[in-house]
């Protein structure tokens, strides 16, 4: 592909000579056939020495380049779009394998690719252009939209609804039972979970993530939201559009997240609360109360040197008492100051 | 189903006119054919406006209802029992699929339902009324009791024992190797894990949860205990009866939990310690030492506003020194007070 | 097996009478046919009462034993090696099942054991002595080395490279997409992940752990490193040799870990930072900055009694202000001391 073609497809200006390009890579690893990029100024010093055939960067850094430059106001986005053009999708299989199980009561569009060991239950529907990788489980009465990519051994429990252009990575479970029990005299009794999971268009969900069906009603993930690996989302949770939920986050039942929310890794969100649009929570944060829109919240405590950590940890439970003592000291000092001034009115 | 039938089956008193009921739902979403419930007074204001055909609630709130009421001393439990009566189980398959693999050396009761792509190894036993969903793996010499529900792609590694009425959700792994290595000159050497996992009756385990086999002996989950999604339980852990372990909890090797223990989400428990009966730990808690029965423990620190968080986090390592300075101040102040009093015996 | 044989194979000295041994067990559970061991002095009191046929321990504790002793300078390692000798591997299947799917474009050594429902894609290579358990997915163009054990439903996404003697536990996912998106006007756009995952020799990876493929280039796990269950490793992460990563750890993208690093359970590591050789981080630690080699870091805060916890948690955000007040007090007190001394030069 010629740099001029790329410039034209991405709407960028080419500065320097045209040439044939076959790949993409980092500044450090790119060769003469590769396009690379600079978005984060932190890596600017790598530009001078890159062997890349061309780079995508902004006007400011274009000067530094020893090679042709595709000048962009948003280098990371434009490079991502170039990778979209060049990347080959995974999975060269096509057609519908006779080693799959498709229930006669299921409705599958002829253009759906079905790999060996896929299971599609009674009443399930799979729409045009969707690809089901090996060992995928589509439970009874599930509906999957158009042009979805369902990677190996994803499990859609019965009744799950998935929109268009959804990507589900290996091991995802949608529609497992929510965690609901009632205390009875002789132990815990199950509250059967009879709601469902709804995944809107353009959602992507990471490997081995689990999303529980609602007790009653729906658990819903809004269009364009991206969820990372090993995330847990409880029953009746609502997540708004274009939110970002990083790996190992846990969201308890009936929590309600707005649009454009960002939860960094290992964050925990308690149940039955609301997180407003645009909130961002740093890694390991614990959300115990509702949060107004646009709030940025801290995360866990950064680790410190081990011996220092042991001392600090021992002091933390003394905090309430320390703050009492501090107040007492302030009072006493004031009293004492007064006393001294009385002894010595000149106030030396 | 008539309200009078429900009242009779649940042992409740019907106040108001009898009518036909076809479903269950929340106060907000219920229609005239649905029964709803009020357990948490927080939602009491929804009672007046509900369109439900009837509600289950206590005497106090019965007055508020615009519809027939099934009066209950334990509304949540009785509603759960009604849902148990009305809910249809997942999975309409039956019989034993010829797309499954059943080793000739396995013993499977004729009443067991086996879906396509189920694997049952040599020496395994599966008892009456149990249902195996697609892609379930029953390793060699496993034993599964009566009336269990084993959801898609659950993996029971060889030798795992499962009691009666156990529910295992999609992706559960029982009997993976514990994490045991010995340091040798040329690196880490594996301590082969030759123990097993035992799951007692009426246990429920959530999606993608992992429970390791013992190094020697048993890892055991007590009867009636409920475990949520993405929980990790290490080798030789013992969990007592009717405990509740919420999502993403991690329990390290050889920890010993009592009965009726509650661990909230993302709690971590260190190895080789004991947590007494009835202990409860708040979300994100870290248990580093044994805990006597009946203790309630705190969890992680709630997140705070980001700029405030940065300042706080910077101060925390100074705590041990702050507490020293506080003590010094108190001493000095005492000394000074004395001195002043000497100057001024009248003590103004 | 005779104690003399064991002594000879492990290079230990037998003190006491020779006898036939058939198993291994803990001091508490061992019988006359079992060998047990004492490594941790904490359990020394169990030696006197053990029914074991022999024990492996050091010279110091040998005296306590009521039975023959295999004297060892490293009892835990030597016992582990005895278990290695005695343990039978899981999975009695052999050959290549006709219920598996092997693409004609795949290259599989005749000695590879392939269970039912295994999928091997086009261009994949599996080398001699490797065992593939049921429901394993080997994506297109993957390469798996010699004598690996790939347990049920492990998923290797296309292009993943696995070395020799690697053990992958049930549900592991290697090569899922990294979490990379670019913000565009109309929402998040995917940065296609076109790199791969490389697992070096003698690595072991726990159940349901996920390791993402690189965006560009490689995510790499160094030889001999051991990873526990439910761990998340992001795109482009590099982990050195012989490191230990305990359950539920999360490592964000492009983090660079050295050799012999130990991360305890539920630790989180931020992206784009470096953790030096031999660093150790306690459970629940959060690493926000690079760490020099050989550093030991603390973890999360241990849980405390619940009411005390509520008070403490309420005080922590006041820390920055408390430390200011402390400084102010110290200044004032100094000033006041001076003043008093002026009033009273004799300095009583």
What would the pLDDT profile of C105-123 be if each residue is shown by its tens digit? 999 999 999 999 999 999 9
Query: What is the pLDDT of chain A when averaged over all its residues?
Result: 96
Element (H, E) at C27: none
Query: What is the pLDDT of chain B when averaged over all its residues?
Result: 96
Element (H, E) at C113: strand C113-114
- DSSP secondary structure string, A56-107? EE-HHHHTT-SS-EEE-SSHHHHHHHHHHHHPPPS----SB-TTSEE-TT-E
Angle between the B319-343 and A306-315 helix axes, to the nearest 10 degrees?
50
Residue B208 and residue C169 in contact, taking contact as beta carbons nearer than 8 Å: no
Between C92, C248, C306, which is nearest B232 by CB? C248
Question: What SS3 state is found at B120?
Answer: strand
Query: What is the pLDDT of chain C when averaged over all its residues?
Result: 96
User: pLDDT at position C347, please?
Assistant: 46
Within 8 A of C38 by CB-CB distance, chain B residues are none
User: Per-residue pLDDT tens for A135-148?
Assistant: 999 999 999 999 99
Q: Is A194 on the interface with B (CB under 8 A)?
A: yes
Answer yes or no: do B242 and A187 touch at CB < 8 A.
Answer: yes
Q: Is C323 on the interface with A (CB under 8 A)?
A: no
* Start-end of H helices in A163-244: none
Residue B173: phi, psi to the nearest 5?
Answer: -120, 120
User: pLDDT at position A347, please?
Assistant: 46
Round to whole Å and give the CA distance between C333 and C329.
6
Average confidence (pLDDT) over A161-168: 98
Distance to chain A for C99, nearest Cα, Å: 9
Chain pair A-B, CB pairs under 8 angstroms: 243
Round to whole Å and give the CA distance between B284 and A270.
10
- DSSP secondary structure string, C266-280? T-EE-TT-EE-TT-E
User: pLDDT at position B343, please?
Assistant: 64
Round to whole Å and give the CA distance between B114 and B135.
10
Confidence of residue C344 (pLDDT cuts 50, 70, 90): low
Residue C16 and residue C54 in contact, taking contact as beta carbons nearer than 8 Å: yes
Pairing of strands A187-190, A181-184: antiparallel
* Residues whose CB falls within 8 Å of the CB of residue A297, separated by 6 or more in sequence, listed in order: A279, A280, A281, A282, A285, A287, A291, B303, B304, B305, B306, B309
User: Per-residue pLDDT tens for B147-191?
Assistant: 999 999 999 999 999 999 999 999 999 999 999 999 999 899 999
Chain Cα centroid distance, residue A263: 8
What ipTM was predicted for this assembly? 0.96
Q: Is B312 on the interface with A (CB under 8 A)?
A: yes
Chain Cα centroid distance, residue A257: 13
**In 3D, which of A164, A166, A249 has the Cα closest to residue A204?**
A166
User: pLDDT at position A344, please?
Assistant: 61
Confidence of residue C96 (pLDDT cuts 50, 70, 90): very high
**Beta-bridge partner residues of C138:** C120, C156
Between B169, B230, B284, which is nearest A232 by CB? B230
Answer yes or no: do C229 and B179 touch at CB < 8 A.
Answer: yes
User: Per-residue pLDDT tens for C189-224?
Assistant: 999 999 999 999 999 999 999 999 999 999 999 999
**Beta-bridge partner residues of A70:** A14, A56
Average confidence (pLDDT) over C156-182: 98
pLDDT at A343 over 80: no
User: Per-residue pLDDT tens for C246-293?
Assistant: 999 999 999 999 999 999 999 999 999 999 999 999 999 999 999 999
Residue B22 and residue B3 in contact, taking contact as beta carbons nearer than 8 Å: no
CA of B327: which chain C residue's CA is closest? C326
Fold type of domain C3-86:
3.40.1390
Confidence of residue A346 (pLDDT cuts 50, 70, 90): low
**In 3D, which of B255, B227, B261, B269 has the Cα closest to residue B241?**
B261
Percent of residues, chain A, with pLDDT higher than 90? 94
**In 3D, which of C166, C174, C164 has the Cα closest to residue C235?**
C174
Element (H, E) at C205: strand C204-205
Residue A158 and residue A172 in contact, taking contact as beta carbons nearer than 8 Å: no
Average confidence (pLDDT) over C53-60: 96
Distance to chain B for A232, nearest Cα, Å: 7
User: Per-residue pLDDT tens for A288-304?
Assistant: 999 999 999 999 989 99
pLDDT at A266 over 60: yes
User: pLDDT at position C348, please?
Assistant: 45
pLDDT at C340 over 80: no
Within 8 A of A268 by CB-CB distance, chain B residues are 248, 265-266, 283-284, 300
Residue C262: phi, psi to the nearest 5?
Answer: -125, 120
pTM above 0.80, yes or no: yes
- CATH superfamily for domain C101-307: Hexapeptide repeat proteins (2.160.10.10)
User: Per-residue pLDDT tens for A46-88?
Assistant: 999 999 999 999 999 999 999 999 999 999 999 999 999 999 9
pLDDT at A157 over 70: yes
Distance to chain A for B346, nearest Cα, Å: 11
Residue C212 and residue A229 in contact, taking contact as beta carbons nearer than 8 Å: yes
pLDDT at C42 over 90: no
Q: Is the dihedral of CA A302, A304, A310, A313 positive or negative?
A: negative
User: pLDDT at position B338, please?
Assistant: 85
Which regions in chain B score pLDDT beneath 70? 343-348
Q: Is the dihedral of CA C42, C44, C45, C49 positive or negative?
A: positive
A235 catalytic residue (yes or no): yes
User: pLDDT at position B347, please?
Assistant: 46
**In 3D, which of A202, A251, A213, A209 has the Cα closest to residue A231?**
A209
List the beta strands (DSSP E) in A261-317: 262-263, 268-269, 274-275, 280-281, 286-287, 296-297
Question: What SS3 state is found at B17?
Answer: coil
Round to whole Å and give the CA distance between C278 and C119.
39
Round to whole Å and give the CA distance between C319 and C315.
7
Residue A250 and residue B248 in contact, taking contact as beta carbons nearer than 8 Å: yes
């Amino acid at each position: 592909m010629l740099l001029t073609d790329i410039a034209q497809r991405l709407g960028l200006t080419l500065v320097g000579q045209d040439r044939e390009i076959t790949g993409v890579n980092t500044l450090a690893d790119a060769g003469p056939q590769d396009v690379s990029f600079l978005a984060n100024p932190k890596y600017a010093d790598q530009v001078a020495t890159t062997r890349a055939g061309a780079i995508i960067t902004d006007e400011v850094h274009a000067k530094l380049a020893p090679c042709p430059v595709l000048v962009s106001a948003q280098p990371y986005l434009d490079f991502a779009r170039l990778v979209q053009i060049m990347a080959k999708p995974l999975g060269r299989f096509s057609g519908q394998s006779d080693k799959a199980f498709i229930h006669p009561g299921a409705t599958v569009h002829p253009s759906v690719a079905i790999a060996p060991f896929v299971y599609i239950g009674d009443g399930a529907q799979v729409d045009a252009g969707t690809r089901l990788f090996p060992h995928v489980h589509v439970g009874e009465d599930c509906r999957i939209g158009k042009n979805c990519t369902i990677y190996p051994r994803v499990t859609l429990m019965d009744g799950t609804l998935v929109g268009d252009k959804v990507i589900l990575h290996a091991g995802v479970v949608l529609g497992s039972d929510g965690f609901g029990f009632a205390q009875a005299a002789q132990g815990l009794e199950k509250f059967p979970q009879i709601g469902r999971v709804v995944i809107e268009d353009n959602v992507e969900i990471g490997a081995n993530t689990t999303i529980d069906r609602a007790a009653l009603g729906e658990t819903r993930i809004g269009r364009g939201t991206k969820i990372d690996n090993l995330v847990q989302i409880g029953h009746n949770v609502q997540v708004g559009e274009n939110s970002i939920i990083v790996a190992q986050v846990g969201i308890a039942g009936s929590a309600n997240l707005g649009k454009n929310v960002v939860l960094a890794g290992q964050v925990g969100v308690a149940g039955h609360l609301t997180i407003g649009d645009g909130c961002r929570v740093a890694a390991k944060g614990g959300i115990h109360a509702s949060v107004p829109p646009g709030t940025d919240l801290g995360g866990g405590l950064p680790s410190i040197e081990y011996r220092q950590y042991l001392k600090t940890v021992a002091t933390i439970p003394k905090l309430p008492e320390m703050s009492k003592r501090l107040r007492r000291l302030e009072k006493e000092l004031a009293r004492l100051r007064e006393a001294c001034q009385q002894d010595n009115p000149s106030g030396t």
